[in-house]
Structure 1
């Protein structure tokens, strides 16, 4: 008869529970794997599957009881690591959505909104469209597989029970939030500059010829030129997204190294 001691049972549970918390937290915050259209059962199943794959490769676990304050601290530690990784990836997709919002406002499509279950509020149609393209490109570049590989590697660089974090890592994460505005504006800049010139021209013409009203001429012109420029932008969007995702993954690895340095 096989006898299992309480210490051995606790070790088995810890080897499954603590990695599961980190992986599940990442899946909740990740932009593609944690999409609202994916059922929660599928997310939990994927988390359990990844945990079963990663668990045998874990370094030695800390001798900490699960039901204790120290065990709660270890669980919160895993939660923060997973959420930080998911947040970094979500920033890249948010930058693309911001570009869609800026372009939509400049084209005069600020009224073209609908309820988005992702954000829980109204989202511009162009922002939603750009987000869908970004998700498809992310899957085409095998970005989801790269992220899962990085996630599995964190159990070696950031072993369970690290106890302390480097404060500079959280400072890096906060500063990287500026990517939402810099990358988003960089993507929207060609259309914004062109449409701004058109709006300024229409303003001058309206002053010189009042019969050329903004609503009768300016709005159709801005919308038509914006659609044409969008067609031109789509030809180079894949290269831009590839560069954006590559920089995001590089920053994610730098962030994990900075956490480990603490």
Structure 2
């Protein structure tokens, strides 16, 4: 007759519940996985399937009751870790959206805003276009798989334990957040430079021929030059996009190592380290 003790049942529940919480935190906050168009049931099913695959490889868990105070504290910590790792990649997508905002305002399309379901707000047309380009590139280069590999590595670099997380971990997100503005400006720089040249040329033309209606011809010219520059620069954005994806994934890895209060070092090679 098969008999189970309460300790064995708690160990089984904790062995699946705690990894599942970290995984669901990443799925809820990471781009593509956490998009509002993805049904909640699909996110939960994906999290459960990933947990069933990753749970057997997780190091030894603390012998605690999952429903105890210490067990609930571990649950909250795992949720925060998953949310932070997914949010690190979300910051990379924010850089693309910021580049689109800069390009739109420079081209004169700042008034052309649409409802963005991912942020439940309004964003510029070029910003949504850059977000879609980033999403397609994210899937095309298998960045979503590398992100899941980094999540699997985090269970080794940051094992599940009742030890409080290091307070230095949020600084990694702050450092990555500063990249939103620099990376967004770099991505939008070709359009900004082209529009600046056009504005200088229009200013000279206005001084040479004051009778011209600069407001009548300036907007279509800047809009056309901006769209032309955007179309010409898209083929050259592949390398910067991949570099930003790698930066976001590495930030998630560093976040896990920093939260464990360990010096940065090579993470275990359990999956793809970087995008090609």
Structure 1's 241 and 57: CA in aligned 2 closer, same or farther, altered over 3 A?
same
Q: Which residue of 1 aligns with 2:28?
A: 28
Q: Which residue of 1 aligns with 2:270?
A: none
1:74 equivalent in alignment to 2:102: no
Aligned-residue RMSD, C-alpha: 1.4
Alignment partner of 2:115: what SS?
A: strand
Specify every segment of 5 or more residues in structure 1 that has no aligned partner in the other structure, as ranges: none
1:183-237: CA deviations, max 9, x gaps?
0000101110220232233234334533323321110110111111111111101
Q: Which residue of 2 aligns with 1:251?
A: 251
**Separation (CA, whole Å) in 2 of partners of 1:70 and 1:212:** 74
Aligned residues: 262
1:147 equivalent in alignment to 2:142: no
Matches within 5 A, 1:129-168: 129-168=129-168
Q: Which residue of 2 aligns with 1:43?
A: 43
1:171 equivalent in alignment to 2:144: no
**Separation (CA, whole Å) in 2 of partners of 1:51 and 1:214:** 61
**Separation (CA, whole Å) in 2 of partners of 1:163 and 1:122:** 41
CA contact under 8 A between 2:154 and 2:253: conserved in structure 1?
Answer: no
Alignment partner of 1:257: what SS?
A: helix
Alignment partner of 2:42: what SS?
A: helix
Structure 1's 13 and 223: CA in aligned 2 closer, same or farther, altered over 3 A?
same
Alignment partner of 1:167: what SS?
A: coil
Instruction: Name the structure where helix makes up a greater proportion of residues.
Output: 1
Q: Which residue of 2 aligns with 1:196?
A: 196
Normalised by the length of structure 2, the TM-score is 0.91
Alignment partner of 2:114: what SS?
A: strand
Normalised by the length of structure 1, the TM-score is 0.95
1:149-193: CA deviations, max 9, x gaps?
111111111111151222222112212101110100001011102
CA contact under 8 A between 2:168 and 2:258: conserved in structure 1?
Answer: yes
1:15-55: CA deviations, max 9, x gaps?
11111110001000001111111111110000000011111
CA contact under 8 A between 2:77 and 2:165: conserved in structure 1?
Answer: no
CA contact under 8 A between 2:95 and 2:179: conserved in structure 1?
Answer: yes
Alignment partner of 2:168: what SS?
A: helix
1:222 equivalent in alignment to 2:222: yes
